Homo-oligomer: A and B are copies of this chain.
Amino acid sequence: MTTIPAALAARLVTDPDVKATYAVDESVGAVPPGDFEVVRARDLADVVEVMRHAHETRTPVVPQGARSSLTGGSVALEGGIVLNVEALDVVSEVDPLEGLAVAGPGVINADLKAAVAEQGLFYPPDPASSAFCTIGGNVATNAGGLCCVKYGVTADYVRGLQVVLPGGEVIRTGHRTAKGVAGLDLTGLFVGSEGTLGVVTEVVAKVVPAPDPALTVLGTFDSLEDASAAIAALRRERHVPSLVELMDRASIAAVQALADYGYPGDCEAALIVQSDRPGHTAEDVALYADILEKAGATEVAVADDVQEADLLLAGRRALSPALEAKGPRFLEDVCVPVGRLTDLIRAGQAISARRGVEITMSGHAGDGNLHPSIFFDADDPASRENAEEAFGEMVATALEFGGTITGEHGVGSLKARWLAQELGERELERQRAVKALFDPHGIMNPGRVYWS
């Protein structure tokens, strides 16, 4: 049975129903184990105590924030401790001169954005779950989102971390200064490590001057190839769009079924493109509209005030709940070279047709990061198995096209069995050896990412 030090008794979640909610995340098919404990840490000392105890007793630890993981990275493990850090939610510092902000891992992404915005600053990483996902989880999965085509991913905005290692040692990585090359920078190891090395307890984030509120242009296309040509042309623009999103017909239909967000129904693909360039958003979206038209868009709508622009983007942001509402699904997160995006979508359509499984296609087209949703009937095991096999085929296709099995959601549990295919067994062994340096007893999220 999972044991917890007496000092942490007051941090334990004891109500069975509440505890059950901490057992799972947003990943498909997550099932609570029989025996586990949930500790809701209130401060660094709580985290240290859990990590000391778990290391000594060889107890598995699952670091957890808002439980918005889509890959099973924060589901409770049998005999383990769920170490929830959502209460470490203070933005302790915002410094415009140094261009940094310091946040606890439990700070909601949107709250960090809001806190720095008060000082005219911007924290770019922008997962679709921005309103409820935490910075700690963003760091764990090197989260990206809609802004990455212009601004990059979470790793590009982490200057340094405070991390608690198994055994309870508290370390700092990286630096607070703008530059620094004294010793190895371990920061990049922890970003994207999905809770397999330690628990992040503080993030020193890089922030930049705030852009303008974005304006939006929406283009619809009868042909995927035309949409692809538009993406390629946009990638050549000196004024990089702050967002280049793609939705296929089924995705748009799902969104419009929720509410009228102003999207046309009849097209093979829609591109949503934004500019947030200070002082020049209207100029940019007019240019982007022209690019979409020249690439063969059948209809182009420019949202030239912020309200209308927000409505179009709200539609894109409603896509996750809209697809959620359609029923159970496997959610893909493959990323390929931008030049192979159309090939990937065509391959997805072929898989859908061959298997008779519904697949919607959408994602961060400017990055080559696609999020197909593969639907199944929860009451029909054969349907689920068929969808899961389609999921695997998408992964294999992405690898074949020079891509990766995960762009921003992480490997978690759902994709662990494909990691060796991407990295090779030898590289996997090397990475396990790196993990063992920090976590010699293998207590951190065991079985996840590295499979064994």
Contacts and interface: CB of A to CB of B under 8 A. Distances in A.
A189 B192 contact: no
A34 interface: no
A408 B181 contact: yes
For chain A, give the interface size range. Answer: 35 or more
A120 B415 CA distance: 38
B437 A335 contact: no
Interface string A165-181: 00001010001111111
A369 to B, nearest CB: 5
A354 interface: no
Interface SS of chain A? loop
Contact of A186 (B182, B189, B278): B189
A408 B177 CA distance: 12
A91 interface: no
A394 to B, nearest CB: 14
Given A178-B367, A209-B238, A430-B171, A192 B184 contact: yes
Contacts of A367: 177-179
A419 B415 CA distance: 40
Contacts of A39: none
A75 B394 CA distance: 50
Contact of A427 (B181, B183, B193): B183
Interface stretch (A7-15, A255-263, A324-332, A336-344): A336-344
A244 to B, nearest CB: 11
Interface string A346-387: 000000000000000000101111000000000000000000
Interface stretch (A46-54, A107-115, A292-300, A397-405): A397-405
A185 interface: yes
B176 A185 contact: no
Contacts of A419: 182-183
Given A189-B184, A189-B186, A209-B238, A337 B98 contact: yes
A351 B426 CA distance: 53
7 contacts: A99-B235, A177-B407, A179-B335, A182-B422, A183-B428, A185-B188, A185-B189
Which 9 A/B pairs are nearest by Cβ-Cβ distance? A188-B188, A179-B407, A178-B367, A180-B404, A209-B238, A181-B192, A142-B181, A177-B335, A179-B335
